[in-house]
Amino acid sequence: MKHRYLPMTETDKKAMLEQIGISDVQELFNDIPESVQFKGEYNIKKAKSETALLKELTLLAAKNADLRSHTSFLGAGVYDHYMPVIVDHVLSRSEFYTAYTPYQPEISQGELQAIFEFQTMICELTGMDVANSSMYDGGTALAEAAMLSSGHTKRKKVLLSSTVHPETKEVVKAYAKGQYVEVVEIPYRDGVTDLDALKSEMDDTIAAVIVQYPNFFGRIEPMKELEEIIHSGKAMFVVSSNPLSLGALTPPGAFGADIVAGDAQPFGIPTSFGGPHCGYFAVTNKLVRKIPGRLVGQTKDDQGRRGFVLTLQAREQHIRRDKATSNICSNQALNALAASVAMTALGKKGVREMAVSNIQKAHYAKQAFKNKGFTVAFDGPSFNEFVVELNQPVKEVNQQLLKEGIIGGYDLGRDYPQLKNHMLVAVTELRTKEEIDLFVDRMGDYHA
Amino acid sequence: MHKEDQALIFELSTSGRVGYSLPEMDIPEVNIDDLIPTDYIRTAEPNLPEVSELDIMRHYTALSRRNHGVDSGFYPLGSCTMKYNPKINENVARFAGFAHLHPLQDESSVQGALELMYDLQEHLIEITGMDEVTLQPAAGAHGEWTGLMLIRAYHEANGDTKRTKVIVPDSAHGTNPASATVAGFETITVKSDENGLVDLDDLRNVVGEDTAALMLTNPNTLGLFEENILEMASIVHEAGGKLYYDGANLNAVLSKARPGDMGFDVVHLNLHKTFTGPHGGGGPGSGPVGVKKDLIPFLPKPVVTKKDREFVLDYDRPQSIGRVKPYYGNFGINVRAYTYIRTMGPDGLKAVTEYAVLNANYMMRRLQPYFDLPFDRHCKHEFVLSGKRQKKLGVRTLDIAKRLLDFGYHPPTIYFPLNVEECIMIEPTETESKETLDAFIEAMIQIAKEAEENPEIVQEAPHTTVIGRLDETTAARKPILRYQV
């Protein structure tokens, strides 16, 4: 057969078979036992030409209501943000996207340096000493943080605030089961972690306390009080943060966090139906040799030129095998590059301006809901999300909104039975006054 | 700074420059101090660079020129399947209807995305010969861990709690034992025999009532098909264990043999290898897991299913191991893999494997006179050479790899698998032309001659790269892991 990705001609093939000393390619597969040989071809769809396939998939994509043609107030861990157009231009450099992991530093300096810069930017935003080269996403990064804490403290129990992203909580629990770590949820009160409940669970068996800041309801957690309680119990203070929020908010590092993990999706990474995004993982210096995944370090060549290498690899699976600090191998390098470009474009002024814009616009929307007669649940200092109470199921309201080109907020009743008819609304810097006003207007009939 | 150093983006920063264009603030602003308590307002600015848009493009363009990808040149990196990354995949993944979907939108508004996932699952079920597939795991190692958690849940559901051990061959990828550990198992190693295959007697010795699973790559990391696979399957199954297939080497057997037919119970695939999701400099990948019927109840939730003519996310899975990842996997990579499969079709995928294997065998036979060939038999999609002969001349495998850089090639995988001395592992893939293979072979032959006649040129390589061999010892001893302003 002829195919544009398969360059061998019949003449080539003949010469190669001759070199090998066989007459038919099938002879190369005769070591597969007869009874397990697959005969014939897969029963799958026939190949399409480039044009026909593009048309089919264009139509398939058009069946979806995307965030470019709709106005979204949906967040809950994944956000529709300003994406500097240059991000995709950099990502489209195929020297980056068609490369493998930079195990050969002499021809991988570009990738290695970009990751070194990413590590630096994550440290700057989180206020931590060391960041790795990325994790799969915020959920698995936090799960790895829980596992690191358990390994480091040799304690087998972690406390998880109920205001952490519900899907992330499930991932933490799945990882914890793997390593026989017990997970206990701490309830919330008034929309933030219940400090009294936390105190009553603290004892010398607790490896870590995991909180999200800003939390799943958009609220700012009482970080100072949390830190005191957690560290007085000699447990590790593990924080999941939206890194964009840290452009305006005091970073977890300044509150004494031991591990900060999260997702860099708000920086230049498309929502992409939930993945790939870009987990990040940052720690204090004392945990540097326990950190999971790849780390890039600076060094020199024999002529004194600055260069970068993958380093401290004795932590990793390809060296330590069953004693590795994690099994992670592939990470999200290309999306770490995307996040780096976006963070670079924003720079120190832009990241603050964008974060503040989120706070301002969400506040404006929150006030507009209040003015319309809505009850805002858990009202208090928040980043770009807040909770409104409705008089009917969120799913039904969202189906009505969709008809008007609006993607409504998240149905909290899915994860919190007591929060039936509660909608988590996200307002990013992208939403205009006009869009917010229209949204609040269309929600008008649904207030509780 | 050395005069030849590539500037860091932070070193290009000038106060007052901007590279962004944020949306207008079209709402009345409130004093931020009235919204956020003072202690929670950031005081010290993060030290991010201040550069213009052109500065950014020049910086990253310069970095890209210091990087080698498949589009730059041949990349015969064993076990990694560095084949061509089709450009149509990139176009499709960027369609707004795929790239800009929120994972928590109402199901009715993402029917196209769910349909694609469902159809990809169906294709992967046929390709692997399994009964069900989940697309949730983010990468190969993540798929391994997911698969092992499924096996653990299966044994536990049967009250079989003494199965604490996972067996892996000594030639296995490092992720296998690491995944076993994080899934709560102890790893037992089974030896390879003199033919490079799993030693059946040793396998019989190590299996028992405590065996949870055997993890196997087939063809194995030496590029050899485990001919005794059916016997191995019956040894493990008779002992009550499950058989796990590491799909890293699936490119070798498309349309030739299916893991499901070989007796495997669980399979993970690396869509970023066999199915051309680009490697991205180390990710993102995608690591779907396929299972046989008896493991379906334990799959991570939600599962994409079809109900009448609607595609739905099924969360009602009481025996599920839970979630291994928020949302539904690396959808963007799955879109690319789906596009690739639809570009190739059944006859195309068959040709992929035939050419991948033909290319590897051709290279192996042409290089055989110049390097030690530890296993002299037909290989699959990759093969290993040993640099033992060159080592006696003072030229190590590492030197050979570095010398290849001077010819513009990415070197093969070296020093892996661990059971071959001075190992050089070559995987050409099917997308390379004969001219490319021949030119690489000539370079290898020249290096073999240099090792005899002029070893210094190899030992001191590379000579043409932007930087020489780096001091990795100091990098690890005194780690500098971030730029300090």
The pLDDT tens digits of the residues spanning A148-180 come to: 999 999 999 999 999 999 999 999 999 999 999
Q: Which pLDDT value is given to residue B271?
A: 97
> What does the pLDDT average to over B364-374?
98
- What share of residues in chain A are helix, strand, coil (percent, to 5)? 45, 15, 40
User: In the 8-state DSSP scheme, what is residue B38?
Assistant: G
Confidence of residue A253 (pLDDT cuts 50, 70, 90): very high
Query: Mean of the per-residue pLDDT values for chain B?
Result: 97
Which is nearest to A194 in space by CA: A168, A229, A218, A167? Answer: A229
Rounded Cα gap, residues B471 and A301, in angstroms: 6
Q: Which pLDDT value is given to residue B443?
A: 98
Q: Which pLDDT value is given to residue B397?
A: 98
Residue B389 in contact with partner chain A when CB distance is under 8 A = no
- What share of residues in chain B are helix, strand, coil (percent, to 5)? 40, 15, 45
Does residue B414 contact residue B404 with C-beta atoms inside 8 Å?
A: no
Does residue B181 contact residue A322 with C-beta atoms inside 8 Å?
A: yes
pTM: 0.98
Report the DSSP beta bridge partners of residue B198: B192
- Report residue A381 as tokens: 């200092």
Q: Which pLDDT value is given to residue B418?
A: 87
Q: Which pLDDT value is given to residue A141?
A: 98
Which is nearest to A99 in space by CA: B242, B410, B485? Answer: B410
A 200-239 → B contacts, CB under 8 A = 220, 223-224
pLDDT above 90 for B334: yes
Interface test with A, best of B32, B66, B121 (most A CBs within 10 A): B66
Closest in B18, B342, B411 to A350, CB measured? B18
- Report residue A294 as tokens: 């790849």
Q: Which pLDDT value is given to residue A320?
A: 84
Q: Which residues of A touch B323 (CB under 8 A)?
A: 139, 167, 170-171, 174
Q: Which pLDDT value is given to residue A391?
A: 96
Residue B144 in contact with partner chain A when CB distance is under 8 A = yes
**Exposure string for B346-383, b = 16+ CB within 10 A, e = fewer:** bebbbbbbbbbbbbbbbbbbbbeebbbbbbeebbbbbb
Predicted confidence (pLDDT) per residue in B22-33, tens digit: 999 999 999 999
Predicted confidence (pLDDT) per residue in B166-225, tens digit: 999 998 988 999 999 999 999 999 999 999 999 999 999 999 999 999 999 999 999 999
Report the DSSP beta bridge partners of residue B211: B165
Q: Which residues of B touch A123 (CB under 8 A)?
A: 482
Residue B285 in contact with partner chain A when CB distance is under 8 A = yes
pLDDT above 80 for B485: no
Which is nearest to B481 in space by CA: A393, A259, A344, A311? Answer: A311
Rounded Cα gap, residues B268 and A135, in angstroms: 19
Nearest CA in chain A to B26: A433
pLDDT above 90 for A322: no
Residue B410 in contact with partner chain A when CB distance is under 8 A = yes
The beta strands (E) that lie in B49-171 are given as 132-134, 165-169
In what order do the strands lie in the sheet containing A410-411?
Answer: A376-377, A385-389, A422-426, A410-411
The angle, 0 to 180 degrees and rounded to 10, between the axes of the packed helices B331-367 and A50-62 is: 150
Q: Which pLDDT value is given to residue B459?
A: 98
Predicted confidence (pLDDT) per residue in A362-405, tens digit: 999 999 999 999 999 999 999 999 999 999 999 999 999 999 99
In what order do the strands lie in the sheet containing B383-386?
Answer: B383-386, B423-426, B413-414
Distance from CA of A190 to the nearest CA of B (A): 17
Which residue, chain included where needed, has tokens 């040894």? Answer: B235
